[in-house]
Chains A and B, each alone.
Chain A
Amino acid sequence: MRRPLPGGCMVDRRSFITSTVAFATAVAVGNETEGRYGASTPADAAPAPTEPAIALVDRSLGGSAAFAVAARARGLGILEFTGDVAAVWMRELEPRLRAGPVAIAGYASAATWFCIDLLASDFGARTVQRSDETHAVSFVISQSPGRRAALAPSAVRAQWSAPHA
């Protein structure tokens, strides 16, 4: 679903949080059966969402400068790249996800979002917001609520539901 964005091309912190809360509620509907594998997370176990601390921006895309300015004004650290996100992934994103929990806002091509979403899923993260913009997609990928995954850090694992923790 396309989410209207303040300023026409940016996501503010409030919309990050609102959408994250909505997502957390949406995924928290469970059919838990104590002690049995295959059950889902109970609603009251859903942890509070994490606010994005950093914003990933592909500076080659139209609207990226405005997104970066807005994100910086809201206190987010900016990670800029041009086209290929691999170096930023190795240098910045993966170490932060490994230490987690962290949430990452982004303004990039659909292809870059696809890559980051898949790579971050190994660390217990998931896309909690995605909006198609004119020149890009904006998104938030968060480790909270934590998804069970092989490389999820201990702080994210602590958010897993009790029967699986």
Chain B
Amino acid sequence: MPSPPPGISERDFQAALRALEGVVGREWLFATDEDVLLYRDGYSPLWGEAEERFASAAVAPNSVEQVQGIVKIANQYSLPLYPISTGRNLTYGGAAPAYSGSVVVDLKRMNRILDVSARDKTCLVEPGVSYFDLYRHLRTNKIPLWIDTADPGWGGLMGNALDRGGGYTDIEFRDHFDAHCGMEVVLPTGEVVRTGMGASPQAKTWQLFKYGLGPWVDGIFSQSNFGIVTKMGFWLMEEPEAALQVSVTVPKRRDVVPLVDTLHSLMCAHTVPSQVTVASPVMGGNNPELVRLRGSGGASDADWERFAGGAGGAPFWSAQFVYYGPSKVIAAQWEHTKDRLSGIAGVGFRETASYTFPLSDEQVEAVADKARYGIPSLNLFGSRTAPGAPPLEGHMDFSPMIPPHGEALIALTDYTGKVYADQGFTPSFVAGMMFHPRTMICFHAVPTFRNAADNARTRKLFETLVRGCAERGWPIYRIHPVFHKLGMEMFSAGDGSLHRLHETLKDAIDPNGIVSPGRYDIWPRRLRGTRA
């Protein structure tokens, strides 16, 4: 039987559950061991240990009014809540709460697509709407709009946006939080707030203009615990006439500097519209000597370049991206891109796929790189596991952010590769992902296990990476809940003044500290110092 939240008696917990049942109905309160296991983080770096984060129960409301009712009861019993939307977020904690004993508020039943405007190219959705749901709605109704999906595409728009996830299409859409326009939030007091133009009761521009009047507060509801978001608007991409996917390759290790500088410039000028991935087929190779070089912490360019080029050899770097729009415009953008990059000796240009829209179902199925066309996919899992191989036990994403500079990408991979090797791990393959035009996110897979000894090693690796990269100017943009405290410690300017501001806001907005205690290390006053 799940344990009550810390500090709450069994009697009060049972009373709180009965009250919650009165709000949502008996069917939608989940409080057995088996029930709460549904909310376990399958990739937890604390798997099976006393500190692993577990829910004490879950409750699944179907309306804003029920969410308000849940919040009211939580205030009465000081019951910690942990709202989730679709609850995926694998590698960043899944559906497991940041604070053990929290009651998960499972918002999957609130999965209505409230509005899609083909004319305005917007939508308004509830928390449980998945990428699958919205994609299917647009396809079924032949609405010529695209979603921008995370990859893998099994999550939901709202949860991914609120954790500041990203996708692959045009910049206006692939920063998922930036692509939202207006939200509705149930505050911890039970009050309902609509942000932006939604605060004006008759406004016809809630999903069209973000700011409304006065301070713009939407940002405080991302990566935070200041409320339960129950509606969110998003901008959607108009289906383009065509798309062209291309690959640019360069032969030398240091060529990454002009390659990234130029792509950065082209992205800022809106010539290259899509996400750009800069990867090294050489540095990512599985040859034992390449793996050794990855962990050497500073192999020379000559050492590396022995493995590049030659007859049929790999280029040292490749960049993948997509143009969207009228065919004539795409052709001009591609020509301009080639002109700008032609100064790099040995540069190669290749068109890898081209499409004219709309696509039939059969054509959709044949698209190799679906996320780049707003098509939710689960192919990422298949690419990580050979057919028939046992599934990986799990991993966390370590996601430092660097400037869009090739030197930084080399320095980062030299550093993190050595950390992995020094601690007995195979260095992770790393690519520079330009989700945002002015930065690169460099995802590293840090393996997790189903045994405590190996997970102790993996936690040490993760902490070393977080601290070491922050010291070098590469802090993370997002982090697993087990490491929220560590992550926020890397944002310590002004003797931790940002963190103090977060907790000042928490005290004001959530005086009883009921919503997601500890998320991103924001603790309510009553739990400060426990840091459970």
**CA–CA, A84 and B132, complex, Å:** 14
Q: Given the known A-B contacts A133-B388, A157-B27, are A83 and B382 also in contact in the complex, defined by CB atoms under 8 Å?
A: yes
Total of A-B residue pairs, C-beta within 8 Å: 120
CB-CB under 8 A from A39, the residues of chain B are 1, 32
Which of B188-196, B371-379, B444-452, B481-489 lies at the binding interface?
B371-379
Which of B33-41, B228-236, B306-314, B407-415 lies at the binding interface?
B33-41
- List which B257-304 residues lie within 8 A (CB) of chain A: none
Check B34–A40 contact: CB distance below 8 A. Answer: yes
Is B162 part of the binding interface, using a Cβ–Cβ cutoff of 8 Å?
no
Check B32–A40 contact: CB distance below 8 A. Answer: yes
Check B153–A86 contact: CB distance below 8 A. Answer: yes
CB-CB under 8 A from B387, the residues of chain A are 58, 60-62, 109, 135-136
Q: Report which of A38, A112, A151 forms a contact with B381, defined as CB distance below 8 A.
A: A112
CB-CB under 8 A from B443, the residues of chain A are none
CB-CB under 8 A from B345, the residues of chain A are none
Check B106–A150 contact: CB distance below 8 A. Answer: yes
Is A70 part of the binding interface, using a Cβ–Cβ cutoff of 8 Å?
no
Is A121 part of the binding interface, using a Cβ–Cβ cutoff of 8 Å?
yes
With an 8 Å Cβ cutoff, the count of chain B residues facing the other chain is: 50
Is B112 part of the binding interface, using a Cβ–Cβ cutoff of 8 Å?
no
**CA–CA, A132 and B370, complex, Å:** 29
Q: Tell me the nearest residue of chain A to B110, going by C-beta.
A: A150
Q: Tell me the nearest residue of chain B to A40, going by C-beta.
A: B32
Check A111–B135 contact: CB distance below 8 A. Answer: no
- List which B388-417 residues lie within 8 A (CB) of chain A: 388-391
Is B385 part of the binding interface, using a Cβ–Cβ cutoff of 8 Å?
yes
Is B154 part of the binding interface, using a Cβ–Cβ cutoff of 8 Å?
yes
CB-CB contacts of A93-121 with B at 8 A, as 1s and 0s? 01000000000000001111111001101
CB-CB under 8 A from A150, the residues of chain B are 28, 58, 60, 106, 108-109, 128
Q: Given the known A-B contacts A37-B14, A90-B132, are A122 and B108 also in contact in the complex, defined by CB atoms under 8 Å?
A: yes
Q: Report which of B108, B136, B377, B390 forms a contact with A84, defined as CB distance below 8 A.
A: B377
- List which B137-173 residues lie within 8 A (CB) of chain A: 152-154
CB-CB under 8 A from B109, the residues of chain A are 150-151
CB-CB under 8 A from B132, the residues of chain A are 86, 89-90, 94
Check B376–A136 contact: CB distance below 8 A. Answer: no
Determine how close the nearest CB of chain B comes to the CB of A43; give it in whole angstroms: 15
Q: Report which of A89, A133, A134, A165 forms a contact with B26, defined as CB distance below 8 A.
A: A165
Determine how close the nearest CB of chain A comes to the CB of B58; give it in whole angstroms: 8
CB-CB under 8 A from A3, the residues of chain B are none
CB-CB contacts of A131-144 with B at 8 A, as 1s and 0s? 01111110000000
**CA–CA, A109 and B387, complex, Å:** 5
Q: Given the known A-B contacts A37-B17, A89-B132, are A151 and B379 also in contact in the complex, defined by CB atoms under 8 Å?
A: no
Determine how close the nearest CB of chain B comes to the CB of A33; give it in whole angstroms: 9
Is B365 part of the binding interface, using a Cβ–Cβ cutoff of 8 Å?
yes
**CA–CA, A104 and B351, complex, Å:** 40
With an 8 Å Cβ cutoff, the count of chain A residues facing the other chain is: 46
Check A136–B34 contact: CB distance below 8 A. Answer: no
Determine how close the nearest CB of chain B comes to the CB of A86; give it in whole angstroms: 5
- List which B336-390 residues lie within 8 A (CB) of chain A: 361, 364-365, 370, 375-379, 381-382, 384-390
Is B324 part of the binding interface, using a Cβ–Cβ cutoff of 8 Å?
no
Is B523 part of the binding interface, using a Cβ–Cβ cutoff of 8 Å?
no
**CA–CA, A37 and B31, complex, Å:** 6
Q: Report which of B1, B136, B381 forms a contact with A90, defined as CB distance below 8 A.
A: B136
- List which A129-165 residues lie within 8 A (CB) of chain B: 132-137, 147-151, 157, 160, 164-165
Check B60–A112 contact: CB distance below 8 A. Answer: no
Check A148–B30 contact: CB distance below 8 A. Answer: yes
Is B212 part of the binding interface, using a Cβ–Cβ cutoff of 8 Å?
no
Q: Tell me the nearest residue of chain B to A60, going by C-beta.
A: B387
CB-CB under 8 A from A60, the residues of chain B are 387
CB-CB contacts of B429-446 with A at 8 A, as 1s and 0s? 000000000000000000
Check A89–B378 contact: CB distance below 8 A. Answer: yes
Is B2 part of the binding interface, using a Cβ–Cβ cutoff of 8 Å?
yes
Check B382–A111 contact: CB distance below 8 A. Answer: yes
CB-CB under 8 A from A135, the residues of chain B are 387-388
Q: Tell me the nearest residue of chain A to B384, going by C-beta.
A: A111
Q: Given the known A-B contacts A84-B377, A150-B28, A157-B27, are A111 and B391 also in contact in the complex, defined by CB atoms under 8 Å?
A: yes
CB-CB under 8 A from A94, the residues of chain B are 132
Check A36–B14 contact: CB distance below 8 A. Answer: yes
- List which B191-207 residues lie within 8 A (CB) of chain A: none
Check B38–A121 contact: CB distance below 8 A. Answer: yes
Check B382–A84 contact: CB distance below 8 A. Answer: yes
Check B57–A84 contact: CB distance below 8 A. Answer: no
Q: Tell me the nearest residue of chain A to B389, going by C-beta.
A: A110
Determine how close the nearest CB of chain A comes to the CB of B118; give it in whole angstroms: 20
Q: Report which of B31, B42, B378 forms a contact with A86, defined as CB distance below 8 A.
A: B378
Interface pairs (28), CB distance under 8 Å: A37-B17, A37-B57, A38-B31, A38-B33, A40-B33, A84-B379, A86-B378, A90-B135, A90-B136, A109-B386, A112-B381, A118-B42, A118-B154, A119-B154, A121-B38, A132-B388, A133-B388, A136-B387, A136-B388, A147-B38, A149-B30, A149-B38, A150-B60, A150-B106, A151-B108, A151-B111, A164-B26, A164-B27
- Measured CB to CB, the residues of B under 8 A from A are 1-2, 14, 17, 26-35, 38, 42, 57-58, 60, 86, 106, 108-109, 111, 128, 132, 135-136, 152-154, 361, 364-365, 370, 375-379, 381-382, 384-391
With A61-B388, A111-B391, A164-B26 given, name 7 new contacts (CB 8 A). A86-B375, A86-B378, A87-B361, A132-B388, A150-B60, A151-B109, A165-B27
